[in-house]
Structure 1
Amino acid sequence: MSARSGRTVRDLRRENRTAVLQRLYFDGPLSRLALGPAIGLSSGSVSNVVAELVAEGLVEEAGSVDSVGGRPRTLLRVSPASGSMIGVDVGETRIRIELFDLAFNELARAERPLSTSETDRHARYEVALVVRHIRDGIAEVLDRAGVSAERLLGVGIGVPGIVARGGRDGAVVHGQTIGWDAVPLERLLRESDGLPPSVPYCIDNGAKTLGQAEMWFGAGRGAGNAVFVLFGSGVGAGVISEHTGSGRSVEWGHLTVRVRGRRCRCGTHGCLEAYAGAEALLDRWREAGGAPPEGADEETALTAMLAAAYPPPGAGEPHDEVARAVLAETAEYLGAGFADLINLFQPERILVGGWAGLQLGSRFLEEVKAHATAYALRHPAARTVVGLGTLGPEAVTVGAAILPLAGFFARGGRRAEVVRDAPVPAWRAALRGRVAR
């Protein structure tokens, strides 16, 4: 049976379940009476959907509130214990794996360091090593929390690079800066992990997963659209249009800011990342005569650079003019890059995250904003708020775990179905046989 719009009754039921789950998740606990007007459903429809969700263990009672002249109204919420998600951040110094319940309480965590002593960063991200780290980390967090793999709604993974989908391999990663050329990451994980086929992998760009986390739970809440900048060793950005939307990643770090400029780690010249990423920032400080700590990792070295440029008041130490000049130039490059984002996407907000972004933003975000305003068109610039993310440097892991949860909600709280190979048409089998001869 179909509705006049072309949607089936099954589609409408799924949409109603989705609406109830999302409203309870983001705004709950709520009573049945409050749910109806909030999502535009009749009281009868709300009661039917809620009864289904309660019977399935997805929704539970959460106390009551007094009503005017009547019985207390029962409050409802999404049950935190009704499922779990894993979020994975394939980062620059480590791979972090976290297991969450539906309320994003952390149940277990595992970290696998990536060698920072490798002179070739491509060796650090050797595909078999990354797959093994993810596989072992998933097994570790499930075992530590005592959670069955069958209870997983999915595994979300934030990666550097462009993620393409389609075909038998699932998600394929094109990570030029880390030496990944069409890596079939989803297939490789599926072949080695031992998870049930019903547990989906949701793989996406790390900047986009950061944005999804901030849009759901952080500084992006309430915005109709926003751009989220992930600033670490390199830089990237994700554009999210609404808090439950999928959004998209943009290779913002590889916009050309200077023709025939510095060589970028992607192999070309003049990219924003060649001037504004933490790796390039430290290289420029060193080339200008600065002295990053010998043998220190990037996070430690960047902290030292900021301390040299901005010594604590009363420390009696002069500031490092070279470090301050490099940082001032970086602020202008970032400001010009923000202006590009403003002109292209006209977002309500631009929010900065990542370990380097949070360190640098606390020091010179006002300078970056001033340059962005100077370089951008006046009308969209006046309507864009620039600020810092609020979920900390580990937001990518949270955002990665959101990916399977968002899919679960979109299916009306149903588990992912196993995709089976469709029967091969007779003509295809016959023609293959001719080729084989």
Structure 2
Amino acid sequence: MDVRRTTVRDMRRSNRSVILTGIFRDGPLSRQELSTRTSLSAASVSNLVSEMIAEGVVEEAGSVESEGGRPRVLLRVSPTFRYVVGAEVGETRVRVELFDLAMRVLARADHPIHSPTPAMVVKHVLAGLGAVLAEAGVRPESVLGLGVAVAGIVEGDAVVHAQTLGWDAVPLGKMLAEGTDIPIQVDNGANTLGQAEMWFGAGRGATDAVVALVGSGVGAALVADGSSYRGTRSSAGEWGHMTIAYGGRRCRCGAEGCLEAYVGAEGVLDRYRELDGPGLVGDEETAFVAMLDAVGTSEAAATVVNDTIGYLAAGFANLVNLVNPERIVLGGWAGLLLGERYLPQLREEVGRHALQQPYSQVSIVLCELGRDAVALGAATLPVLQLLRDGGVAPPHH
């Protein structure tokens, strides 16, 4: 093998990757802006862009006036070059969404579930995949990949360890691949939410951030120096299982005193019921909203919500002291419901628990992409692969 030729080819791919990532994340951009941002010569940028336009991955998108010269042509990733699918495996539903490369939702399928078993999840994800492709009239070979977001730790070849669901070393990637030729990637839901918020939402521009997901369970994505921090075997960010109370409440994972047992929606509602709060009906989300609405009239609701903000603040203060982020983004459906009503109180409480210096350097904000950002984040997994590969679409097996 000719080492020099390989190096030139790698270099070319790496340069294409840098240009394409710039266009996707910050576009539309002109060739001149790309040259400035990437430190590549104008000739290199021009050559590689022409190549990508010929392949259909990049297209011209209008022009802007420039100082005293010809108008500059703007470039963007062609939205219909390929499509991506994101699936969110929650504890109460499986949601599958189809996107173009402008990350617009073209079709969506929802399946409510109870106590998700691996086989049931695989069935619903594949059914949802078929449904969204049919609805939008997209052929499977035009799909770059299917990204799947799950609760739990995802190792190596999409093997999932989800203690709270009773999943132990489930080969989810392999199980899904048996039902489709579309390339599959699996990641933790907090990580996919984190990626979506860092690319398109409240995390933009931050290089050190934590994106916290508070739903039935609790997780976090850690971003250090602009990259996702995963730890030795990608289980970093299991913030929900940080011990917050020695000898405290039993968590669904089996340990005692985890943050999740106090701020995850399931734990919060359990604490409310123990205080004999007024009866709650409906699913977890409906019950959670009813409890928040009862704060003015029910002492039990007021106590539980106030304590929950306190526990969440203590969890955030631990992050502030431990990882010194410039930004903490609160997301997840329960996190948003709490944050929309209690963000100022939460910020104040974090200040009471954290060291002053790192606390003065952090901003605590709400997730901007709403409650469906997990599926969007899952769909960015195949996009990231395309950007890394410099716009070369993977073959379907």
Corresponding residue SS for 1:80 = coil
Written as runs of structure 1 = structure 2, the 5 A alignment for 1:9-408 is 9-115=8-114, 124-165=115-156, 170-191=157-178, 193-195=179-181, 199-241=182-224, 245-248=227-230, 249-294=236-281, 296-310=282-296, 319-408=297-386
- Whether contact under 8 Å (1:282, 1:292) holds in the other structure is no
For residues 127 and 68 of structure 1, do their structure 2 counterparts lie closer, same or farther at Cα, with a shift above 3 Å needed? Answer: closer
Distance (Å, rounded) in 2 between the aligned partners of 1:255 and 1:367: 22
In structure 1, give the amino acid aligned to 2:139: S
Q: Deviations over 1:344-384 (max 9, x none)?
A: 21111111111111101122222222222222222211111
Corresponding residue SS for 2:80 = helix
Corresponding residue SS for 1:261 = coil
Shift of the alpha carbon at 1:417? 5.5
For residues 18 and 242 of structure 1, do their structure 2 counterparts lie closer, same or farther at Cα, with a shift above 3 Å needed? Answer: farther
Shift of the alpha carbon at 1:251? 1.0
Distance (Å, rounded) in 2 between the aligned partners of 1:7 and 1:255: 46
Distance (Å, rounded) in 2 between the aligned partners of 1:268 and 1:342: 24
**Structure 2 unaligned blocks of 5 or more:** 231-235
Shift of the alpha carbon at 1:329? 1.2
Corresponding residue SS for 1:266 = coil
For residues 359 and 45 of structure 1, do their structure 2 counterparts lie closer, same or farther at Cα, with a shift above 3 Å needed? Answer: same
Corresponding residue SS for 1:233 = coil
For residues 328 and 55 of structure 1, do their structure 2 counterparts lie closer, same or farther at Cα, with a shift above 3 Å needed? Answer: same
Distance (Å, rounded) in 2 between the aligned partners of 1:97 and 1:258: 37
In structure 2, give the amino acid aligned to 1:401: A
Q: Deviations over 1:231-266 (max 9, x none)?
A: 1111111112366x3443511111111122111111
Q: Deviations over 1:299-349 (max 9, x none)?
A: 111111111104xxxxxxxx2122111111111111111111112211111
Distance (Å, rounded) in 2 between the aligned partners of 1:374 and 1:253: 21
In structure 2, give the amino acid aligned to 1:264: C
The range that moved more, 59-68 or 393-402, is 59-68
- Whether contact under 8 Å (2:81, 2:101) holds in the other structure is yes
Distance (Å, rounded) in 2 between the aligned partners of 1:37 and 1:381: 35
Corresponding residue SS for 2:307 = helix
Query: Which residue does 1:423 correspond to in 2?
Result: none
Aligned residue pairs: how many?
Answer: 391
The range that moved more, 364-373 or 227-236, is 364-373
For residues 103 and 139 of structure 1, do their structure 2 counterparts lie closer, same or farther at Cα, with a shift above 3 Å needed? Answer: same
TM-score by length of 2: 0.94
Shift of the alpha carbon at 1:19? 1.5
The structure 1 segments of at least 4 consecutive aligned residues displaced by more than 4 Å after TM superposition are none
Shift of the alpha carbon at 1:56? 0.2
Shift of the alpha carbon at 1:205? 0.6
Distance (Å, rounded) in 2 between the aligned partners of 1:348 and 1:67: 35
Distance (Å, rounded) in 2 between the aligned partners of 1:390 and 1:69: 38
Corresponding residue SS for 2:221 = strand
In structure 2, give the amino acid aligned to 1:159: V
Query: Which residue does 2:233 correspond to in 1?
Result: none
Corresponding residue SS for 1:367 = helix
RMSD in angstroms over aligned alpha carbons?
1.8
- Whether contact under 8 Å (2:210, 2:325) holds in the other structure is yes
Distance (Å, rounded) in 2 between the aligned partners of 1:418 and 1:29: 29
